[in-house]
């Protein structure tokens, strides 16, 4: 039904019913429909998962606005996601365990390398769910 919706052959109500039937909450279903509508308006992103667009469009916790609202392009967000997925941390002390915060530090370095203002980098920081109390540790601060 997702493809049928994107091609205009199924209604939002039918898509919503399918999501709820598959165990999504009403809120989750509505967010996914919003993402599909965004994707219909941006056909250049036809290969992007709706769940990724949901994250891109939903307000970032503690901020009340989205990555899109902050002026961060979906292309840049996709680049971040791809690069952040490769952050595996380090074991500097050789104890066989990933050192505390090493994955986070690598991801913050990725954020810092992006062509964003420091305010936009803060939005990316919060989009990762990290604590405001540790924002000062970010390399752009």
Model confidence pLDDT, tens digit, residues 1-26: 677 777 667 788 888 888 898 899 99
Residues 6+ apart with CB under 8 A from 74: 42, 45, 48, 53, 56, 68
Instruction: Return the pLDDT at 1.
Output: 60
pTM above 0.85, yes or no: no
Rg of the chain, C-alpha, whole Å: 18
What average pLDDT score do residues 127-135 get? Answer: 93
What average pLDDT score do residues 120-129 get? Answer: 96
Between 72 and 6, whose confidence is greater? Answer: 72
């Amino acid at each position: 039904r997702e493809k049928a919706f994107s091609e205009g052959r199924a209604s939002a109500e039918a898509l919503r019913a399918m999501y709820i039937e598959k165990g999504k909450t009403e809120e989750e279903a509505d967010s996914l429909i919003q993402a599909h509508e965004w994707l219909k308006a941006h056909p250049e992103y036809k290969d992007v998962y709706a769940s990724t667009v949901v994250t891109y469009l939903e307000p970032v916790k503690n901020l009340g606005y989205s990555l899109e609202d902050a002026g961060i392009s979906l292309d840049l967000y996709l680049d971040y996601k791809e690069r952040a997925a490769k952050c595996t941390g380090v074991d500097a002390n050789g104890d066989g365990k990933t050192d505390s915060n090493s994955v986070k530090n690598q991801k913050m370095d990725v954020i810092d390398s992006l062509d964003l203002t420091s305010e936009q980098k803060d939005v990316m920081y919060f989009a990762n769910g990290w604590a405001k109390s540790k924002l000062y540790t970010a390399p752009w601060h």
